[in-house]
Structure 1
Amino acid sequence: MKIFIDTANLEKIKEANSWGIVDGVTTNPSLVSKENMDFKTLVKEICKVVDGPISAEVMGDSAEEMVKEGKELAKIHKNIVIKIPMTKEGMKATKVLSSEGINVNVTLIFSAAQALLACKAGARYISPFVGRLDDAGQDGMKLIAEIMNVLDNYDFNTEVIVASIRHPIHVIDAAQMGADIATIPFDVLDKMFNHPLTDNGIKRFKDDWAKCENTTKRPSKQKNTSKAKK
């Protein structure tokens, strides 16, 4: 499973990328609004850090507006993926952009029916939001299972990005279901490294090594072979 980082913060992207596990980046208007940088400039900087798909979202309501914005964003870098909402106008825009070779990530998917329509429209990626479903009292991961089951029956050139991830369990569940990608917030990625037994094991190794070093450095006792004077 590929791992994307879900943030627009450059420092977090650089740090996560240094771990050697980041395959791409997803952003959205809410994430971008937290950064003190022009949107297009920010996207350009992100493309310099991560060599993989970088999702940038359009803000237009009509298909024409989305297509125009999408084409402008696609000019920024070859790795740009145009993020488009799951609406009728969004599907019109997806069809146009995908037919021109521009990759589209259809976002805000909350049902298998929506996922199927996005695939039919030519989406390169679809982003079902599991955390928001959980927040609404539903089982977000059940949706991923449904979508993967549907897509396994067909030959769509579409990858499933599990989005709105809240904790590491979402990531593991997604991997077990065979999802193509999980886009993960920085704090959740950070938590995935942690386990108390790993910490305890490192501490024990360090303590034992310190004992070994102390034993090695201890001066050896030499026997006095000189004869006592008479």
Structure 2
Amino acid sequence: MNQLDALKQFTTVVADSGDFRQLDAFKPRDATTNPSLILKAVQKAEYRSLLTDTVTQFRGRALDEIVDRLLVRFGAEILAIIPGRVSTEVDARLSFDTNASVTRAERIVELYQAEGIHIDRVLVKVAATWEGIQAAAQLERRGIHTNLTLLFSFCQAVACGQARVQLISPFVGRIYDWYKKTAGAAWDEVANAGANDPGVKSVRQIYNHYKHFGIATEIMGASFRNVGQIVALAGCDLLTISPELLAQLAASKAPLVRALDPQAAKALDLPAVNFDEAGFRYALNEDAMATDKLAEGIRAFAADAVKLEQLILAA
């Protein structure tokens, strides 16, 4: 049995890609997209027609509507291949506007429904800012399921659990990146690998908290830099993995055992934790890594959204 098949025994494998033609080889249940992945895909010759067809069909409509229609077009193509759900992102420029995020999310879902796709096959991605989490809470109450992204800290995860969101995406690799960059020449790769990887430790803390207190929100580790991070989180509810790392797992016969276990988490002695808005903002502010990476992630997704708009205007 290869590592990918071994992982699938206790973790739902999700493909982290807008390149839907790669998906069939790895048989993931779900797929995630973001503005950067869609931007990368539409610049490939084989996907260019999705951009031009969408622009031609809806020319004259508001630019943000054309963007959402393009995102949904990719999502619909992905859902024709996979059996589960696709995640589609709300414009990162709305990350601090609860009402605008709700409105945009509702339109994305309506566009999927117009394609005949059931609401339960769509997760709307929203940045895990305080405003994004409140938007997600509203959407969940309306039956629209959410994926809280750009999640780097325990306080973000706790607030998402309180909001009863469907799923969170803690960014393992970006946490690792920050600590490695901050340490500079003092960084010890071997000492910070596997279970000691700072990104892995962050997800394990969230996993143990959720399972210990019976929080139903799904945890989907994301943004991996190497197979070792994935192996160290085997047993997490879901892991969203790039096609390149999926290929490495499929090619390896190395042993892979469950690393995270809900029963073990239930046996831990953990304090109950809750956050109101002030407490959330202070806890996030105290976490320099999370503060830096959240801001950086929003800027990067917003920049790629602008680039995507420019491609649409030029088409």
What TM-score bracket applies, with the shorter chain setting the length?
Answer: 0.7 to 0.9
Instruction: Note if contact 1:112-1:146 (Cα within 8 Å) is conserved in structure 2.
Output: yes
CA RMSD of aligned residues (A): 1.6
1:95-174 counterparts in 2 under 5 A? 95-137=137-179, 139-174=198-233
Name the CA distance, whole Å, in 2 between partners of 1:105 and 1:195.
30
- State whether structure 2 residue 232 is matched by structure 1 residue 181: no
User: 1:146-178 deviations in whole A, cap 9, x for unaligned?
Assistant: 111211221222110000012221111111xx3
Given candidates 60, 73, 76, the residue that maps to 1:44 is: 76
Structure 1 residue 196, shift from structure 2 partner: 8.0
The match for 1:32 among 21, 32, 38 is 38
Identity %: 28
1:72 CA displacement? 1.7
Cα gap change, 1:154/1:195 in structure 2, threshold over 3 Å: closer, same or farther? closer
Q: From the two aligned structures, give the one with the greater strand fraction.
A: 1
Please, which of 67, 72, 83 is the counterpart of residue 107 of structure 2? 72
Q: Note the C-alpha offset of 1:53.
A: 1.5
Structure 2 SS opposite 1:164: coil
User: 1:4 Cα deviation (Å)?
Assistant: 0.1
Offset, 1:110: 0.7
Is residue 29–residue 84 contact of structure 2 (8 Å, CA) maintained in 1? yes
8 Å CA contact 1:73, 1:80 repeated in 2: no
Deviation at 1:40, TM superposition (A): 2.0
Query: Structure 2: how far apart are the matches of 1:34 and 1:147?
Result: 31
C-alpha displacement at 1:102, in angstroms? 1.1
Output one character per residue of 1:100-136: Cα deviation in whole Å (capped at 9) or x when no partner. 1111110111111110101111211011001001111
Aligned residue pairs, count: 191
- Provide Cα deviations, 1:72-92, integer angstroms capped at 9, x if missing partner: 222302201010101121012
**Structure with the largest fraction of helix:** 2
Q: Larger Cα Rg: Structure 1 or Structure 2? A: 1
Q: TM-score, normalised by structure 1?
A: 0.79
CA distance in 2, matches of 1:109, 1:13: 25
Which has the higher mean CA deviation after the structures are superposed, 65-74 or 140-149? Answer: 65-74
Aligned to 2:12: 2
Q: Which runs of 5+ in 1 are unaligned?
A: 198-230
